[in-house]
Amino acid sequence: MVVAQPDVTVVIGAYEAMPYLVDCLASVEAQTLDHARLEVIAVDDGSTDGTGEHLEEFADRADFPVTVVRQDNSGGPSGPRNVGLGKASGRYVFFLDADDRLGPEALERMVAMADRNGTDVVLGRVEGVNRKPPQSMWGRTLERTDVHSSNIRFTLSAQKLFRRALLTRHSMCFDESLWTGEDALFTMEAYLRADGVSLIDDYTCYYLVGREDGKHVTKRGSYTLRFDSARALAGLIADMVPPGARRDQLMTRPFVVTLLPQFGPKYLRDSEEVRRHKFELAKPLMDAYLTDDVVRRLRVEERLRAHAVAQGRPELLLDLLEFRRERREPTPVVERRGRRVYLAYPHFRDAAAGVPESLYLAEPREARAVPGYREGGLDAFVRRAARKARRVLPARDVRPAAV
């Protein structure tokens, strides 16, 4: 008897997941995708709260194949996911966290999207339940895009549909040496290697559930693990993308999401020893990856924090953080008939502090909120004219003259 290959393997890594696991598994059972085209690989990572027993009960009653693996605790989500991936046989793999749940049509819609467009990764719209989901990448459904043409670099969690052939072709797996951010590394690599990415915006595919006990893996661990994560992700981007605008665009992600938050409000609560250590850990990352173009792509307040850290000037950082703690807003300084907007955070045009004025200059996305701002202007007109000229003028003949 020939058994048809499943469309999707759902990999569930579970640790101390009760009672959330009940709703998670129910959401898999409720999938409108033909259950003959579905399989589940569930890995109990050393739970003591009945998680393993509930998975086995589910396997006994489910009308699709369910494989349950019970193992000693590995300490993180990478190990269970790798075990599940190694046993997967579906054309696609979906990594489902045991705390969360799927929308009923999620797998059916994502498989159809990938099949229709030939894309290797599909993102389904995420809704938060007592948690804030990623937001900047949503707005419309995209049949085919990539990591350079959209904001998907800001959603690097593993809860996506991946074409398994992509993962096996490149021997991809989760880095078990990382205790946080392992999914960011995996997903960014998949984005960069993928033959297209699709986004489903018009249907909630995934419900990101906030546990009342606060036991989210991403919330645990010391600050040093965050630097490990930022270092790994920045290194991956540098290895896979040549220097230039595309690399700098992607490099904003480890800075904005992982590195700079270590120098946000929580820094004010750190001991002097921890503060010094954070500056030490950040320095090689700043030196290697904080280019002028990366800085330009940051918001003004983020730039100023990055500058203070990169220059080894904690006093500038503390002034900025105290300004934020007092809930003060920077005064907009509008110049050149509205074509330039500076946000006057601490030390703006303070010669003694020596902070470059250019760091306070708002890019259009921030400047648009300021009354009197005129987007475009002469500089933009000149740039547009130059681009048009390059398109319409014939290429110069640089061949050597005949002799």
The amino acid sitting at 264 is G
3-state helix, strand, coil split of the chain in percent (to 5) is 45, 15, 35
Q: How far apart are CA 132 and CA 127, in angstroms?
A: 8
Nearest to 262 by CA among 285, 237, 235: 285
Contact 362, 300 (CB under 8 A): yes
Read off the DSSP letter of residue 256. Answer: I
The SS3 assignment for 69 reads strand
What element of type H or E holds 66? Answer: strand 66-71
Cβ-proximal residues to 381 (8 Å cutoff; 6+ apart), any chain: none
What element of type H or E holds 160? Answer: none
Instruction: Name the active-site residue from 99, 183, 228, 248.
Output: 183
The position carrying tokens 């050393």 is: 46
Q: How far apart are CA 213 and CA 211, in angstroms?
A: 5
Q: In degrees rounded to 5, what are phi and psi of residue 125?
A: -55, 140
Nearest to 209 by CA among 9, 397, 22, 6: 22
Which residues partner with 68 through β-bridges? 42
Q: Does 350 participate in catalysis according to the annotation?
A: no
Nearest to 330 by CA among 351, 304, 309, 308: 304
Nearest to 123 by CA among 89, 149, 158: 158
Read off the DSSP letter of residue 90. Answer: S
Cite the active site residues: 183
